[in-house]
Chains A and B, each alone.
Chain A
Amino acid sequence: MTRWFAGVVVAVTLLAAPGAAQDSARRWREGRAAERRGDPAAAIAEYRALIDGDPTGRLATRARRRLEVLEEPVGREREALGALLEARQDPSRERIQALEGALEGYPAGEVRREARNLVASRWLALGEPERAAAGYRRLLAEGGMTDLQAERGRAGLARSLAAAGDPAGAMRVLEEAGDGGALLDTLAAERRARVGRGLSVAVLALFLVLLAWRTRFRVLDGLTRRGASLAAWTLLVPLAIATAYDAEALDTFALLATSSAPVLLGAAAWGRHARNRRERWLGAATAVAAQVAVAYLVLVERGAILGVGW
């Protein structure tokens, strides 16, 4: 370090007397309090005074960062910023309602977009998804957003539609925009789970009906007691595991059970018609291969494995 540089450091240290540090701390606290009550002008004044009093201090750096946020909007937009800061601090129903009512009077721009986003998001959190969806639609109509802002807006709209009982509409919003991601995956998984659960129940009911009426229809005549146990195992165990595990596993196991049922029924039918030991072994080998294939396809479809080698 050069002597000159060391001198500057010493001089700055001497200038930054304890009194200056205390004054900076006081002004920082005042500035923060002004922001919390939605008064950007007062906060700006405090931060400006802080920087003037201790320009190289740590708190001056922080004050400059706050000024970059607070000084960019001017006029009505700064008024909007005040309302936004206040609503962020206290996002109660009343405050959000008031902000929503004032939005149209604010100039278009970043602050109004952020305010619209806050309003829509809060309506969703407050259990009013239709109102939230309307808010997100107004946000998306604003324009001037970054790609990621638009993506988050569409995600909010999709969440609102799903909460309002329109999952198909939610998926349409995401698919039309080409948005993938976790939300679309979740919605798709929920749809698969609904279909999978329905199919599982249907297959299980069919199996039980066939079992009860086996004498009349002679469909499962070839099914021995051991075979029936195996069938029950194949169908019921995945569902039992799914029930004891989590939502993601439920989808996987429900689909696995549903997909395994035709293999099982086919194998039973083959066994009934097999004429000798060789044909029974051939049927068993085919059934095992088919079951492995089914399991593999199900796991790939559910993302549990990525493909061969993983």
Chain B
Amino acid sequence: MRRVTLLLLAASLFTGCGDDDGASPDSGPADAGVDAAPAPRDLGQERELTVFDYVPEGCSGTVRTPEVVEAGMGGETLGAAPTPDHVHVAIGEEASTTFAVNWHTDLATDVTQILYGLDEDAVDAADGATDEVAVRSGHTLVYETRYETLTDSLDVRIHEVHVCGLEPSTTYYYKVGGPGAWSETFDVATAPVLGSTEPWTFAASGDSRNNTAGVWQLAQRQILEAGADLHVFSGDAVNLSALQTEWDAFFEAREGDFQVQDALARIPFMVSNGNHDNLRVNYLAQFAMPQDISEGEGGQGEEWYSFDYANAHFVVLNDTVEDDATISGPEADWLRADLAAVDRDVTPWVFAVHHRNLYTCMSSHSPSGQLRTAWQPIYDEFAVDVVFQGHNHVYERSRPIRGLTATNEGVVAAEGAGGEPTFEAPGGGSGEPSGTLYFTAAAIGAPLYEVSDACPTTRAAQGVANYLMVDVDDRSITFTARNIETGAVIDELTYSK
């Protein structure tokens, strides 16, 4: 008895200590992981599911839906509430010549069209194609989801259209829906031509779930007003991904006369999967992403992907996988192959985006040794400039890191006075950084955590609601982290390669 007691006591003392490697993706603080609770029954289990694929007019890539209860090209039916909402834009193919739009309507509405052109008034006035306004059709799908609780269910109608053959660095006006039931008119700008040295800006954020005190919509307003061209999001959009009410709140959040759609419909929003999003059909069906299915990849090619924007290459990864071996197996293989194909003379900047942290100074959400082992050698080999992480609801910036010790700790590389990486050939060549910077900008609504800057790999850290603006101007880059509640700069770093 005494022996058993001692064993139990020893086991208890070790509970909660150590790295989270090997744990379920939802392990962590008490508020994480609720989504992992088994649903009363599997979604769609009792209904036949289908996948629809096609090549949109003028585009080159195939668009595939996730497995849903209904999918196909848009029709002509208008339901009782056909006006689109949840309108948001993304990059589906080449960023300088295409964009993709998703929206939601009532279930009966299947008309799925976009009107677009260069003249705002003409688009605004049009009810179909005109001399100044073009029309494109897209696909629509219906998926079954839980609504308010994990025991009810609901069918949700989503529409998606891809527009290709556009001019680079140009502002287009568009509205979506169908004749007699259009959204308001939005503007979206295509990216500069690949390799361009024009200045451009993107926002990096993550973890909007729970939306504490309306921080999500406040940040979206600031990001729109700041003139961001692109927004990369490191996951955990909602708390319980299986509940459509949470997604409705995500897309419909508003403050005063501003609603998040005002920003999401204008700035391409590129998402990565967080442990709370969990690759649910809600997540896969509501966002357009580049779809290039690689071996071992799920989610119809939306589990991980890459895209170019001006003079930068982005890789967006999934670290919440069903089988841990995926991370060091097919996903790592894809990452290596993708980065090997990057021409650094065209896209000298390379960024990675994913949810969990390779580096963080939070003890309760400790860094992932598994990700370090699997991905850092690849980041190092291909001199990735920056990794944008989420998961920890704080702001953190690492020092430049290159290499791992025998105990899997990061090695701090040569750095400048501000903590920026150094370059062997400043202003020339491909400008390989001495090390990779790991940012965590992941409190755009989620409850805040406490963080320390005492770790040897940490340069800056604050437990405030935040997002990051990144200004890229040819070979120069400026990172500006802002406190969402005040707009104040909490960290800033500029350097050139």
CB within 8 Å of B: which residues of A? 1-2, 4-5, 8-9, 12-13, 16, 21, 25, 28-29, 32, 56-63, 65-66, 68-69, 84, 87-91, 114, 117-118, 121-122, 146, 148-149, 151-152, 155-156, 181-182, 226, 229, 233, 237, 240-241, 244-246, 248-249, 303-304, 310
Please classify the interface of chain B as helix (H, G, I), strand (E, B), loop, or mixed, using the class held by over half of its residues. loop
Q: Type the 1/0 row for B1-44, where 1 means its CB is closer than 8 Å to any CB of A.
A: 11001001100111111000000000001100000010000000
Most chain-A CB neighbours within 10 Å: which of B118, B171, B473?
A: B171
Q: Type the 1/0 row for B93-112, where 1 means its CB is closer than 8 Å to any CB of A.
A: 00000000000000000000
Complex contacts, A69 vs chain B, CB 8 Å: 225
> Closest 10 interchain pairs by CB?
A62-B227, A148-B214, A58-B189, A4-B131, A245-B16, A182-B447, A91-B488, A58-B169, A118-B486, A61-B171
Q: Please tell me if the beta carbons of A1 and B37 are within 8 angstroms of each other in the complex.
A: no
Cα A80 to Cα B213 in complex, Å, equals 26
Q: Please tell me if the beta carbons of B225 and A65 are within 8 angstroms of each other in the complex.
A: yes
Q: List 4 additional contacts besides A21-B198, A25-B473, A121-B485; criterion CB under 8 Å.
A: A13-B167, A16-B170, A61-B227, A248-B30
Per a CB cutoff under 8 Å, which of B200, B212, B487 touches A118? B487
CB within 8 Å of A: which residues of B? 1-2, 5, 8-9, 12-17, 29-30, 37, 58, 117-119, 129-134, 165-167, 169-171, 187, 189-192, 198-201, 210, 212-214, 217-218, 224-227, 229, 255-256, 363-364, 447-448, 471, 473, 482-483, 485-489
Cα A152 to Cα B485 in complex, Å, equals 8
Q: How far is the CB of B121 from chain A (nearest CB, A)?
A: 13
Cα A54 to Cα B43 in complex, Å, equals 50
Q: Please tell me if the beta carbons of B9 and A12 are within 8 angstroms of each other in the complex.
A: no
Can you list 12 contacts pairing A with B, beta carbon distance less than 8 Å? A25-B198, A58-B169, A59-B198, A62-B189, A62-B229, A66-B227, A118-B486, A146-B256, A152-B214, A233-B5, A245-B16, A246-B16
Per a CB cutoff under 8 Å, which of B16, B200, B363, B485 touches A117? B485
Q: Please tell me if the beta carbons of A29 and B30 are within 8 angstroms of each other in the complex.
A: no
B215 nearest in chain A by CB position:
A152
Per a CB cutoff under 8 Å, which of B165, B169, B255, B487 touches A146? B255
Q: Please tell me if the beta carbons of B189 and A244 are within 8 angstroms of each other in the complex.
A: no
Q: How far is the CB of A304 from chain B (nearest CB, A)?
A: 7
Q: How far is the CB of A28 from chain B (nearest CB, A)?
A: 6
Q: How far is the CB of A109 from chain B (nearest CB, A)?
A: 13
Complex contacts, B133 vs chain A, CB 8 Å: 5
Q: How far is the CB of B91 from chain A (nearest CB, A)?
A: 14
Q: Please tell me if the beta carbons of A241 and B15 are within 8 angstroms of each other in the complex.
A: yes
Q: Please tell me if the beta carbons of A151 and B213 are within 8 angstroms of each other in the complex.
A: yes
Q: Please tell me if the beta carbons of A155 and B487 are within 8 angstroms of each other in the complex.
A: no
Complex contacts, B256 vs chain A, CB 8 Å: 146
Q: Please tell me if the beta carbons of B199 and A245 are within 8 angstroms of each other in the complex.
A: no
Complex contacts, B130 vs chain A, CB 8 Å: 2
Cα A60 to Cα B227 in complex, Å, equals 10
Complex contacts, B190 vs chain A, CB 8 Å: 58
Complex contacts, B117 vs chain A, CB 8 Å: 5, 8
Cα A181 to Cα B482 in complex, Å, equals 23
Cα A84 to Cα B17 in complex, Å, equals 45
Complex contacts, B58 vs chain A, CB 8 Å: 1
Q: Please tell me if the beta carbons of B29 and A25 are within 8 angstroms of each other in the complex.
A: no
Cα A59 to Cα B364 in complex, Å, equals 42
Q: Please tell me if the beta carbons of B12 and A241 are within 8 angstroms of each other in the complex.
A: yes
Complex contacts, A149 vs chain B, CB 8 Å: 255
Per a CB cutoff under 8 Å, which of A9, A65, A303 touches B224? A65
Complex contacts, A245 vs chain B, CB 8 Å: 15-16
Q: Please tell me if the beta carbons of A88 and B165 are within 8 angstroms of each other in the complex.
A: no
Q: Please tell me if the beta carbons of A122 and B30 are within 8 angstroms of each other in the complex.
A: no
Q: How far is the CB of B215 from chain A (nearest CB, A)?
A: 8
B364 nearest in chain A by CB position:
A246
Given that A88-B487, A90-B489, A148-B214 are known contacts, is A2 also in contact with B131, CB under 8 Å in the complex? yes
Q: Please tell me if the beta carbons of A60 and B171 are within 8 angstroms of each other in the complex.
A: yes
Cα A56 to Cα B132 in complex, Å, equals 14
Complex contacts, A66 vs chain B, CB 8 Å: 225-227
Q: Please tell me if the beta carbons of A16 and B169 are within 8 angstroms of each other in the complex.
A: yes
Q: Please tell me if the beta carbons of B9 and A233 are within 8 angstroms of each other in the complex.
A: yes
Q: Please tell me if the beta carbons of B214 and A151 are within 8 angstroms of each other in the complex.
A: yes
Cα A156 to Cα B212 in complex, Å, equals 13
Cα A28 to Cα B16 in complex, Å, equals 50
Cα A181 to Cα B31 in complex, Å, equals 13
Cα A1 to Cα B214 in complex, Å, equals 41
Q: Please tell me if the beta carbons of A8 and B118 are within 8 angstroms of each other in the complex.
A: yes
Q: Please tell me if the beta carbons of B30 and A56 are within 8 angstroms of each other in the complex.
A: no
Q: Please tell me if the beta carbons of B212 and A181 are within 8 angstroms of each other in the complex.
A: yes
Per a CB cutoff under 8 Å, which of B131, B214, B224, B448 touches A5? B131
